[in-house]
Amino acid sequence: MSQLIRYVNIKDGECSLEESFVDFDISHQKTGTNLSEEIMQKLSSDRSDIQNCRGDICWNMGGKYEGVQAHIFKTNDHPRFAPCEAHSLNLVGVHAAEVSVLMISLL
């Protein structure tokens, strides 16, 4: 899974929505229960309080991935929104090559 953080940046009285790539996390199981547990563990290891998190992109997971959203919202039922998926995909693609020394040397 890719981990992104979106936040409001307030500077000189101006507000802007920002998005940053954090890292990739290996998923060991692909069920809704396991994925939601891995997400919660990652947030905990990053010392991110789930109660301070807003939004969700798990709504598009279907089939064997179904249930991630339901599990996450048992812990945090703050208002939901659906971010622009194309923007997230672009951000992952841009930073994916930076993870590997081999990929950087090919660029």
| Domain definitions of the chain by residue range | 2-99
- What is the C-alpha R_g of the chain? 15
- Decide: 40 and 51 in contact? Cβ < 8 Å: no
The rounded distance, in Å, linking the Cα atoms of 23 and 3 is: 5
Q: What digits encode the pLDDT tens for the residues 3-38?
A: 878 888 899 999 888 888 888 888 887 787 888 888
- Decide: 14 and 53 in contact? Cβ < 8 Å: no
Mean pLDDT in residue range 86-102: 58
pLDDT at 12: 94
Strand partners for 19: 6
pTM higher than the cut 0.75: no
